[in-house]
């Protein structure tokens, strides 16, 4: 009975269209998310949703009116039972008494067919929202100066009638009963609406409150169009005709509805409703040339061919329009302004300054949004502005809308780079440098930031001025209007702040092998930064042209756009996203070395020997340079100097061409020598302290030939390739070049300040033994122990040693990858590092700290066969022929004795006991493997003291050529020893002291070298004089003696054979088959 009663009551209620007081709700993001979740749930479970308010409540029954979500009912009666879930927008459970008449709710229910006019179902879920709802009929719609709309409705309750004003702002949601979005122009007087608004209201009459949502409860006509603009043309029509058209208008403005042109021709008819902004009817005479109006009209199927349409309604705004040309643009102020000349005298003033505000709209005639920076002098515009203006000349007025009626050309410019300076604390002006993204955009530009400047991140999210910081990586968009100063000045229309940081400076160090550059952006070392370059790093010049990492040479000026994340090291390291090369390094097709002159030729001051850091890729660290008349010699200030100013130990920078000899120390010609205001010293670190605040460098064995270099935070420490090192590398025994101050005290040894330390060769591991060789035995008793034999790489290190492997022993391969103990096997080739603490047994025993397993195999045995030129040797490991190994010996094979002294192939004779380090791959027994290193443990028994008797069988007859010191030295002889050179009367002379028995009792020889002298290595390859003198190796000299004085023979060198490993690559003359024979 009660059910019938409430259905009848609600039916009557809806038919009479009685407005019911409701509670509105605030449309918040969480509530919208809840609605979406509810819809998703309904779609899965077959539920329906109505979003509205409780129009009536009686006991457990409620009537809800509102928006039908996804095809649900706009009007529904619901039963609330014990199974109904009642929650707030956060999902918190509520009691039934929280649902009241007027509550804003979202109800979820099953779709069921009912016979009643209003569907009657049981609610599955009720979400109670915050706010108040109000239903009524629209009495009036008016627009305020701040672009809000005031919607006054009349509520019709059974016992009273009242009015209420809802304030509609930009955030107010406008929908119809099906949830489709509407605009304010779709709402007309007389419509039935539901307004959801704030719980706060004014005490005015009628009261006012901010609306969160407006639901139009009736069908919307879809053929309405609205244009707001200035009346440009006005023509009164002849009333004698039977037509009801009274006036013809042309309106220039903006279309307020979709697909509406802002250029409108319209008729005012006798039926046209003309009102002001407050809804009061006004006469036709209120519409004048220059009036600002809002025109509402309808379209029909036949309207496309008509010249003009009939206006249904015209609202005369309390504004005025001006049509004219832009004379001046001021975009340096907070919001900017334009000076417009009225070319049609729509305004009493011929010129007007239109000041822009935050809400000023700038559009083209098609309604597309523009910015202040799209405007140019000479453009024709329609400006809609306030009726209030200043009394200045010209007057100024606030602009609401500016419509550009002439063609708008693309005028934007863009630069991507970084902010390198913010001159003012208010951040209203920034200095930007970067890559030009548009044609002719300047790479350096100063930009003003005002209220019209859009500041966003890469996702388009709005940011405030606080995000503008020096070093920020940005993309700046600005107009064509720039000053003609050396650095143009303009105004930014948009700043996109990247998720990155920028650094501007000079590359002071580069390591292309490691793909990193170090940038110096101030005089403080702590401000330096190392940028790591990977495959994703973009490298471009200022015009956007792609470059390679090889363009990032030392001295180049760059901008580095890099990650926000960096290491805490000094300098910091981070990943580079983009490198913009502002200025390439001064020299690109030349080599540059910075270091010291360590020798000036005894024969001519026009040849200098340099050692130092290579500042360009592939530049040699050691180089001999000739100085000719074209060589420029200057100091650091650029003053010209003479050849006599070049001295040994001077710190210099040498620039020379890429054309060099292929000798061991390349020779070229200097193009420019810059003498630094410093000196250099080359030698070995003989002492230092724990904090490395000083190092003592010993440059010779002479007691007084040492110098102490003081090291501070400004001292640069690098290796020979320019890679930065730390003080830790400056250990005793390291070979270095020290570039230091000219000021030296008179202490013993002298002391001075170091500017730069170039480490030529790092010291051996301190207090550690190192052996490189092979594992010849592995024991695994109660703990693993390996036996190693090989070359001692540190002083006093045993060649044979047994080492225990424990949990602290580091086992790695050559790439540093950790390995298991199982990787160490007999015949493995290893480098073993172990401590000084060893047993005093015949074979010392210790504990390994680190084992590096090489990619090679070792064999220990006796050479049983070799071919004539020793390019193949066969090693017998045991009496079993299957254990023999044939090794190929080439120019890269290192041949040494157990103490690391260099030997030659001539020492690889049958009977010699050796360790052969060779490649892993072999195909069969007695197949050939490539020998990397041969360590001679024991020479052949039949070898004589003379290292090369076997090579000189043809010279036996020379014994007769020598009797005593008074002999007539007219025959050819030879001597073995080390050579030194000097110049005598323009001829090249060498002095060789006898270091073998040779052929006779000659102590030393002084021999002339000319073009006929043959100089070769042991394989017969030609050797240059420079290679001969720089190799430091023993030589065997065949000569023709001319005279003798006290055991010193003088004569002419016929042939010089450089001993040991070949100086120059060349092919041997062997004809062995590589098979070898079993030793008998």
856-895: pLDDT as tens digits: 898 888 888 888 778 888 888 765 555 678 888 888 788 8
Tokens of 960: 């007769």
Report, as an integer, the average pLDDT of 378-407: 89
With H, G, I as helix, E, B as strand and everything else as coil, classify residue 188: coil
Tokens of 269: 């008819």
Confidence band, pLDDT 50/70/90 cuts, at residue 353: very high
**Cα angle at 526 between 522 and 530, to 5 degrees?**
85
> Looking at the structure, do residues 690 and 547 belong to the same domain, yes or no?
no
| Placement of tokens 């981070």 in the chain | 574
pLDDT at position 788: 92
Report, as an integer, the average pLDDT of 485-499: 87
Going by C-alpha positions, the residue among 437, 421, 430 that lies closest to residue 455 is 430
Report, as an integer, the average pLDDT of 979-998: 69
Report, as an integer, the average pLDDT of 93-102: 88
Alpha helices by DSSP H, listed for 849-1007, are none
Summarised one tens digit per residue, pLDDT across range 686-695 is 888 877 889 9
pLDDT at position 524: 61
Going by C-alpha positions, the residue among 1020, 1041, 1016, 1019 that lies closest to residue 965 is 1041
Least confident of 191-205, 766-780, 948-962: 948-962
Least confident of 60-64, 533-537, 738-742, 972-976: 972-976
pLDDT at position 124: 92
pLDDT at position 179: 79
Confidence band, pLDDT 50/70/90 cuts, at residue 1050: confident
Least confident of 26-40, 78-92, 729-743: 26-40
Determine contact, residues 859/897, Cβ cutoff 8 Å: no
Q: Which residues of 265-282 are buried (b: 16+ CB within 10 A; e: fewer)?
A: ebbbeeebebbebeeeee
Q: Which long-range contacts (CB under 8 A, 24 or more apart) does 4-9 make?
A: 6/56, 6/58, 6/61, 6/63, 6/77, 7/77, 7/116, 7/117, 7/118, 7/120, 9/56
CA-CA distances (angstroms) from residue 631 to 87, 596, 643, 645, 1051?
Answer: 90, 17, 9, 13, 38
> Looking at the structure, do residues 864 and 909 belong to the same domain, yes or no?
yes
Q: How far is Cα 651 from Cα 657, in angstroms, rounded to an integer?
A: 20
Burial of 248: CB neighbours in 10 Å, binned 0-12, 13-18, 19+:
middle
CA-CA distances (angstroms) from residue 1046 to 241, 969, 1004, 1037, 1041?
Answer: 145, 13, 10, 20, 14
Determine contact, residues 74/177, Cβ cutoff 8 Å: yes
Least confident of 320-334, 542-556, 703-717, 997-1011: 997-1011
pLDDT at position 486: 82
Share of the chain above pLDDT 90, in %: 13
Confidence band, pLDDT 50/70/90 cuts, at residue 43: very low
- Which backbone phi and psi does 1069 adopt, to 5 degrees? -115, 20
Q: How far is Cα 83 from Cα 885, in angstroms, rounded to an integer?
A: 90
Tokens of 746: 């008179």
- Beta-sheet strands, E only, within 762-901: 768-780, 784-792, 800-804, 810-813, 828-835, 845-866, 872-876, 885-888, 894-897
Burial of 625: CB neighbours in 10 Å, binned 0-12, 13-18, 19+:
buried
Who wins on pLDDT, 140 or 971? 140
> Looking at the structure, do residues 402 and 459 belong to the same domain, yes or no?
no
- Residue 703: how many CA atoms within 13 Å on its side-chain side? 1
With H, G, I as helix, E, B as strand and everything else as coil, classify residue 300: coil
Any idea what the CATH number is for the domain that residue 343 is in? Answer: 2.40.50
pLDDT at position 1020: 80
pLDDT at position 1002: 65
- Strands 396-404 vs 361-364: parallel, antiparallel or unpaired: parallel
Helix (H) or strand (E) holding 11: helix 2-15
> Looking at the structure, do residues 368 and 463 belong to the same domain, yes or no?
no
Q: How many CB atoms lie within 10 A of CB 587?
A: 17
Instruction: Provide the CA 137 distance to its chain's centre, in angstroms.
Output: 61
Instruction: Provide the CA 991 distance to its chain's centre, in angstroms.
Output: 59
Q: Which residues of 851-861 are buried (b: 16+ CB within 10 A; e: fewer)?
A: bbbbebbbbbb
- Residue length, the chain? 1080
Could you report how far apart the first and last alpha carbons of the chain are, in Å? 127
> Looking at the structure, do residues 807 and 898 belong to the same domain, yes or no?
yes
Confidence band, pLDDT 50/70/90 cuts, at residue 572: confident
> Looking at the structure, do residues 529 and 403 belong to the same domain, yes or no?
no
Q: What is the span of the domain harbouring residue 528? A: 413-583
Report, as an integer, the average pLDDT of 1021-1034: 76
For residue 643, pLDDT over 70 is answered with yes
Report, as an integer, the average pLDDT of 719-744: 85
For residue 962, pLDDT over 50 is answered with no
Q: How far is Cα 765 from Cα 142, in angstroms, rounded to an integer?
A: 88
Least confident of 151-160, 258-267, 831-840, 901-910: 151-160
For residue 293, pLDDT over 90 is answered with yes
Who wins on pLDDT, 1065 or 463? 463
Q: How far is Cα 968 from Cα 115, in angstroms, rounded to an integer?
A: 144
Least confident of 205-209, 484-488, 1021-1025, 1072-1076: 1072-1076
Any idea what the CATH number is for the domain that residue 650 is in? Answer: 2.40.50.140
Least confident of 418-422, 590-594, 600-604, 1076-1080: 1076-1080
pLDDT at position 709: 92
Instruction: Provide the CA 550 distance to its chain's centre, in angstroms.
Output: 17
Going by C-alpha positions, the residue among 898, 891, 902, 900 that lies closest to residue 930 is 891
For residue 1052, pLDDT over 70 is answered with yes
> Looking at the structure, do residues 299 and 388 belong to the same domain, yes or no?
yes
For residue 113, pLDDT over 60 is answered with yes
Tokens of 980: 């030194």
pLDDT at position 13: 46
Q: How far is Cα 774 from Cα 771, in angstroms, rounded to an integer?
A: 9
Domain boundary among 557, 583, 609: 583
Q: How far is Cα 353 from Cα 141, in angstroms, rounded to an integer?
A: 31
For residue 801, pLDDT over 90 is answered with yes
Least confident of 195-199, 598-602, 735-739, 949-953: 949-953
Least confident of 242-256, 669-683, 868-882, 1065-1079: 1065-1079
pLDDT at position 880: 54
Summarised one tens digit per residue, pLDDT across range 646-673 is 998 899 999 998 888 877 788 999 999 9
Going by C-alpha positions, the residue among 226, 136, 236 that lies closest to residue 189 is 136
pTM of the model: 0.36
Burial of 347: CB neighbours in 10 Å, binned 0-12, 13-18, 19+:
buried
Instruction: Provide the CA 724 distance to its chain's centre, in angstroms.
Output: 21
With H, G, I as helix, E, B as strand and everything else as coil, classify residue 143: strand
Report, as an integer, the average pLDDT of 981-990: 73
Q: How far is Cα 59 from Cα 380, in angstroms, rounded to an integer?
A: 67
- Beta-sheet strands, E only, within 458-537: 472-478, 489-511, 516-520, 529-532
What is residue 181's DSSP assignment?
B
* DSSP bridge partners of 758: 718, 737
Going by C-alpha positions, the residue among 465, 470, 466, 471 that lies closest to residue 492 is 465
For residue 786, pLDDT over 90 is answered with yes
Domain boundary among 353, 384, 407: 407
Determine contact, residues 861/851, Cβ cutoff 8 Å: no
For residue 954, pLDDT over 60 is answered with no
Q: What is the chain's Cα-based Rg? A: 48
* DSSP bridge partners of 865: 874
pLDDT at position 764: 62
Q: What is the DSSP string of 678-743?
A: EEEEEEEEEEE-TT-SEEEEE-SSSTT-EEEEE--TT-EEEETTS-B--GGG--TT-EEEEEE-S-
Tokens of 464: 């405030």
> Looking at the structure, do residues 279 and 216 belong to the same domain, yes or no?
no
Report, as an integer, the average pLDDT of 573-587: 82
Report, as an integer, the average pLDDT of 29-56: 59
- Residue 541: how many CA atoms within 13 Å on its side-chain side? 10
For residue 1065, pLDDT over 60 is answered with no
> Looking at the structure, do residues 402 and 494 belong to the same domain, yes or no?
no
Any idea what the CATH number is for the domain that residue 1048 is in? Answer: 2.40.50.110
pLDDT at position 627: 92
For residue 985, pLDDT over 70 is answered with no
**Cα angle at 241 between 237 and 246, to 5 degrees?**
30
Confidence band, pLDDT 50/70/90 cuts, at residue 710: very high
Q: How far is Cα 939 from Cα 959, in angstroms, rounded to an integer?
A: 26
> Looking at the structure, do residues 212 and 112 belong to the same domain, yes or no?
yes
What is residue 238's DSSP assignment?
P
> Looking at the structure, do residues 914 and 955 belong to the same domain, yes or no?
no
pLDDT at position 223: 63
Determine contact, residues 936/897, Cβ cutoff 8 Å: yes
Domain boundary among 548, 583, 618: 583
> Looking at the structure, do residues 242 and 370 belong to the same domain, yes or no?
yes
Going by C-alpha positions, the residue among 777, 908, 788 that lies closest to residue 847 is 788
pLDDT at position 84: 93
pLDDT at position 1000: 47
pLDDT at position 532: 87
The structural domain count of the chain equals 6
* DSSP bridge partners of 733: none
Least confident of 291-300, 311-320, 907-916, 943-952: 943-952
Report, as an integer, the average pLDDT of 230-258: 82
């Amino acid at each position: 009975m009660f059910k019938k009663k409430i259905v009848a009551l609600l039916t009557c209620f809806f038919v009479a269209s009685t407005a019911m007081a409701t509670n509105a709700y605030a449309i918040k993001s969480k509530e919208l998310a809840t609605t979406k979740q509810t819809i998703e749930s309904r779609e899965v479970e077959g539920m329906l949703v109505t979003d509205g308010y409780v129009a009536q409540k009686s006991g457990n029954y409620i009537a809800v009116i509102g928006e039908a979500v996804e095809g649900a009912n706009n009007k529904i009666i619901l039963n609330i039972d014990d199974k109904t879930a009642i929650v707030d927008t956060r999902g918190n459970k509520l009691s039934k008494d929280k649902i009241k008449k007027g509550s804003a709710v979202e109800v979820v229910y099953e779709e069921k067919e009912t016979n009643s006019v209003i569907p009657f179902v049981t609610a599955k879920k009720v979400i109670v929202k915050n706010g108040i709802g109000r239903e009524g009929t629209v009495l009036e719609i008016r627009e305020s100066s701040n672009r809000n709309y005031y919607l006054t409705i009349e509520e019709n309750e059974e016992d009273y009638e009242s009015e209420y004003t809802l304030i509609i702002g930009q955030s107010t949601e406008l929908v119809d009963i099906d949830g489709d979005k509407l605009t304010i122009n779709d709402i007309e007087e007389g419509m039935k609406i539901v307004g959801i608004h704030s719980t706060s209201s004014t005490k005015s009459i009628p009261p006012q409150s901010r609306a969160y949502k407006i639901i139009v409860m009736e069908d919307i006509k879809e053929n309405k169009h609205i244009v707001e603009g200035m009346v440009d043309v006005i023509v009164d029509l002849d009333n004698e005709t039977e037509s009801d058209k009274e006036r013809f208008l042309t309106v220039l403005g903006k279309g307020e509805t979709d697909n509406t042109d802002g250029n409108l021709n319209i008729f005012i008819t006798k039926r046209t409703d003309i009102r002001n902004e407050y809804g009061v009817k006004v006469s036709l005479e209120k519409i004048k040339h220059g009036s600002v109006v809002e025109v509402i009209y309808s379209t029909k199927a036949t309207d496309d061919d008509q010249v003009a349409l009939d206006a249904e309604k015209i609202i005369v705004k309390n504004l005025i329009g001006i049509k004219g040309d832009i004379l001046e643009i001021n975009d340096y102020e907070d919001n900017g302004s334009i000076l417009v000349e009225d070319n049609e005298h729509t305004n009493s003033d011929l010129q007007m300054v239109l000041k822009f505000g935050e809400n000023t709209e700038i559009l083209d005639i098609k309604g597309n949004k523009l910015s202040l920076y799209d405007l140019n002098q000479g453009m024709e515009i329609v400006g809609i502005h306030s009726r209030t203006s200043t009394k200045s000349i010209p007057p100024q007025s606030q602009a609401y809308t500016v419509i550009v009626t002439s063609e708008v050309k693309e005028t934007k410019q863009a630069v991507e780079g970084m902010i390198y300076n913010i001159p003012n604390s208010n951040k209203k002006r920034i200095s930007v440098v970067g890559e030009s993204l548009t044609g002719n955009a300047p790479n350096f530009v100063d930009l003003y930031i005002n209220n019209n400047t859009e500041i966003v991140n890469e996702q388009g999210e709005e940011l405030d001025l606080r995000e503008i910081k020096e070093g920020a990586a940005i993309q700046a968009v600005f107009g064509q209007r720039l000053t003609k100063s050396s650095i143009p000045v303009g105004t930014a229309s948009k700043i996109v702040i990247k998720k990155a940081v920028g650094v501007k400076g000079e590359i002071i160090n580069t390591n292309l092998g490691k793909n990193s550059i170090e940038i110096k952006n101030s005089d403080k070392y702590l401000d330096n930064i190392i940028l790591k370059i990977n495959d994703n790093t973009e490298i471009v010049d200022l015009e956007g042209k792609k470059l390679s990492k090889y363009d990032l040479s030392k001295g180049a000026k760059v901008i580095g756009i890099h990650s926000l994340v960096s290491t805490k090291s000094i300098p910091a390291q981070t990943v580079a996203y983009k490198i913009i090369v502002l200025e390439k390094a001064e020299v690109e097709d030349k080599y540059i070395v910075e270091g010291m002159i360590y020798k000036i030729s005894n024969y001519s001051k026009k040849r200098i020997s340099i050692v130092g850091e290579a500042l360009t890729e592939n530049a040699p660290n050691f180089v001999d340079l000739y100085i000719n008349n074209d060589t420029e010699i200057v100091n650091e200030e650029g003053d010209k100097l003479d050849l006599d100013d070049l001295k040994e130990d001077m710190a210099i920078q040498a620039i020379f061409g890429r054309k060099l000899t292929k000798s061991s120390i390349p020779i070229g010609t200097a193009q420019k020598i810059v003498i630094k205001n410093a000196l250099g010293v080359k030698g070995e670190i003989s002492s230092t302290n724990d904090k490395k605040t000083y190092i003592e460098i010993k440059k010779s064995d002479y007691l007084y030939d040492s110098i102490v270099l003081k090291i501070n935070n400004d001292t640069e420490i690098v290796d020979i390739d320019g890679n930065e090192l730390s003080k830790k590398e400056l250990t005793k025994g390291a070979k270095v070049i020290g570039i230091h101050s000219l000021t030296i005290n008179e202490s013993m040894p002298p002391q001075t300040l170091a500017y730069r330390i170039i480490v030529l060769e790092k010291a051996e591991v301190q207090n550690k033994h190192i052996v490189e060789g092979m594992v010849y035995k592995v024991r695994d008793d109660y703990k693993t122990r390996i036996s190693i034999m090989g070359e001692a790489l540190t002083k006093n290190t045993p060649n044979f040693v047994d080492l225990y492997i424990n949990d602290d022993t580091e086992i790695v391969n050559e790439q540093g990858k950790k390995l298991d103990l199982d990787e160490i096997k007999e015949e493995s080739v290893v480098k073993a590092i172990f401590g000084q603490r060893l047993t005093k047994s015949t074979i010392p025993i210790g504990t390994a700290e680190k084992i590096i397993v090489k990619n090679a195999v070792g064999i220990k045995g006796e050479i049983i066969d070799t071919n004539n030129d020793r390019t193949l040797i066969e090693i017998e490991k045991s009496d079993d022929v299957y254990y023999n190994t044939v090794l190929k010996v080439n120019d890269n094979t290192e041949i040494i004795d157990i103490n690391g002294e260099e030997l030659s192939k001539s020492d690889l004779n049958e009977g010699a006991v050796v360790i052969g380090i060779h490649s892993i791959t072999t195909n069969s027994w007695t197949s050939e493997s490539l020998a990397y290193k041969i360590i001679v443990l024991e020479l052949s028994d039949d070898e004589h003291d003379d290292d090369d008797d076997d090579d000189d069988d043809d010279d036996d007859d020379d014994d007769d050529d020598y009797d005593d010191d008074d002999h007539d030295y007219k025959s050819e002889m030879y001597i073995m020893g080390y050579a030194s050179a000097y110049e005598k009367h323009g001829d090249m002379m060498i002095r060789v002291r006898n270091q073998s028995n040779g052929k006779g009792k000659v102590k030393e020889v002084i021999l002339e070298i000319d073009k006929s002298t043959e100089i070769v290595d042991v394989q017969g390859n030609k050797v240059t004089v420079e290679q001969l003198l720089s190799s430091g190796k023993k030589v065997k000299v065949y000569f023709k003696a001319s005279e003798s004085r006290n055991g010193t023979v003088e004569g002419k060198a016929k042939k010089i054979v450089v001993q040991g490993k070949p100086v120059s690559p060349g092919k041997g003359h062997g004809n062995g088959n590589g098979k070898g024979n079993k030793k008998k």
